[in-house]
């Protein structure tokens, strides 16, 4: 495999996207599903990495700062933490090797407390494509860490969403103006 790119599909779970999710974007999150799916398939066919950094929590964890900010969400082993819609089936059909994988994250950034940077550098990945939810929280914090680690960043505007439209718009501008990301 000679890829130098990876697609990070961030937190695209039932709790963040489904109508009855615990902390959901609802329609804006649902509207990006086909764009994420198409990008995942295209990158998979191109032998690029397609990874799913996915938020995981314990309910009412007294040591986690999000416990004070948000209701319980993405609890391990629950429907809420499962991938949303057709991406769940796509992932289940394609996750038999290193090219497609889901990994746990417990903070906003996919880099915080994970071995993501090491795995990307081992594979000589220098460009990250970011999609998923929420634009102004987990996508943003992942992009900031990617910037600080000197990755090329591409954010797919039609494949990110938030429950906060003002935050979504602000983050899109921040990606371009402060992180030098391409916003496509």
- Per-residue model confidence as pLDDT tens digits over 80-95: 999 999 999 999 999 9
What's the pLDDT score for residue 67? 86
User: How many distinct helices (H) and strands (E) make up the chain?
Assistant: 7, 6
Length of the chain: 184
Structural domain including 57 reads 5-183
Q: Tell me the mean pLDDT in the region 32-41.
A: 98
Contacts of 46 (CB under 8 A, 6+ apart): 3, 5
Structure-token pair, residue 153: 């960043």
Whether the predicted pLDDT of 3 surpasses 90: no
Note the pLDDT of residue 118.
98
Number of domains comprising the chain: 1
Q: What is the pLDDT of residue 1?
A: 43
* Backbone phi and psi for residue 49, each to the nearest 5 degrees, phi listed first: -80, 140
The CATH number for 103's domain is 3.40.50.850
Residue 49 pLDDT exceeds 90:
yes
pLDDT tens, 106-147?
999 999 999 999 999 999 999 999 999 999 999 999 999 999
- Dist. CA 184–CA 167, nearest whole Å: 18
The pLDDT of residue 2 is above 60: no
pLDDT for the residue numbered 60:
86
């Amino acid at each position: 495999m000679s890829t130098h790119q990876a697609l990070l599909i961030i937190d695209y779970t039932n709790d963040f996207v489904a109508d009855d999710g615990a902390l959901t974007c609802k329609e804006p999150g649902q509207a990006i599903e086909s764009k994420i799916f198409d990008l995942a398939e295209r990158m998979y066919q191109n032998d690029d990495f397609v990874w799913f950094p996915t938020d995981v929590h314990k309910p009412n964890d007294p040591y986690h700062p999000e416990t004070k900010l948000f209701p319980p969400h993405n609890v391990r082993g629950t429907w809420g933490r499962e991938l949303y819609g057709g991406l769940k089936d796509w992932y289940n059909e394609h996750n038999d090797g290193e090219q497609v994988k889901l990994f746990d994250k417990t903070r906003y950034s996919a880099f915080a407390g994970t071995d993501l940077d090491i795995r990307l550098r081992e594979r000589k990945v220098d460009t990250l494509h970011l999609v998923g939810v929420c634009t102004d929280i987990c996508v943003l914090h992942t992009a900031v860490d990617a910037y600080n680690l000197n990755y090329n960043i591409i954010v797919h505007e039609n494949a990110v969403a938030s429950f906060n439209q003002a935050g979504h718009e602000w983050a899109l501008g921040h990606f371009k103006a402060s992180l030098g990301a391409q916003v496509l």
